[in-house]
Amino acid sequence: MRLSLSSRENRLFSEMLLKVGNGKLTQSDGRINLDNLCVLIDNIQDLVNNVYPDIHNISCKTLSWFKERAILSPTNEQVDKANNLILAKIDTPTQIYYTVDTVLDSEEAVHFPTEFLNSLNPSGLPPHKMELKVGCPVILLRNLNPPKLCNGTRLLVKSLKKFIIECTILTGCGTGEDVLIPRIPLIPSDLPFQFKRLQFPVKISFAMTINKSQGQTFNVAGLDLSVFHMANYMSRCQE
């Protein structure tokens, strides 16, 4: 809805969104006809190919190419599935980073062993085992240096070191600037006990949750609705 309406295509798309929201496209069986709103796709593989064509040749992709596209999903589980699928398509070396997880109360260590902490994957935290490749987009999970490096800022991995990640900012006021991302302690707030995870505060962001995408504009967007029992995938490309 924030796109310029100077384009006829943008204007028609905006009008279609309003009709969907007002229930004017609902059919007799209660379903909504999306044929004029987007391209319907049958499986996640085709969705990936539509949003990220020729992704295996990642070294030829530009900052603007990554900035203008993303796959969106309602759940973190589906986001991780899409990200892992795309990462496997890229034929470059993989760097693996493991977290250091500890409980804040030493007396509770016997109840929450390290193996258990490693298995946790709370929302808003990077995974225990993080696989990254040079050229991959990532999203920042914490405010590091506002306004350039904020929670939700997307970056492109430039180099992977043992204790630091060098990235180029994709979105926001620092677009195009190279920055260094350190490992920092992260403490989730939505668990019945407290533990600390030492890890880089980023996640791969070929795909992201719909909540994380708020405030961003994409020319090429794919929506993964496989969590629902309906037409599962759709995408819209704006030339």
CA–CA separation, 116 vs 203, rounded Å?
21
Q: What share of the chain is helix, strand, coil (3-state, %, to 5)?
A: 20, 30, 50
- Cβ pair 33, 27 in contact under 8 A: yes
State residue 15 phi and psi, 5-degree precision: -65, -35
Look-up: residue for tokens 């890890």? 199
Residue 36, Cβ neighbours under 10 Å: how many? Answer: 10
Angle of helix 76-89 relative to helix 44-51, nearest 10 degrees? Answer: 70
Name the amino acid, one letter, at 37.
Answer: L
Two tokens, residue 54: 């020729």
Q: Would you write out the chain's pLDDT as a tens digit for each of its 239 residues?
A: 455 566 777 777 778 888 888 878 777 777 777 777 778 888 889 999 999 999 999 989 999 999 999 999 999 999 999 999 999 999 899 999 999 999 998 888 889 999 999 999 998 899 999 999 999 999 999 999 999 999 999 999 999 999 999 999 999 899 999 999 999 999 998 888 899 999 999 999 999 998 888 878 888 999 998 877 544 455 555 44
Extract the runs of DSSP E, i.e. beta strands, from 200-239: 202-204, 207-209, 220-224, 233-237
Q: What is the pTM of this model?
A: 0.84
Domain ranges for the chain: 1-37, 44-228
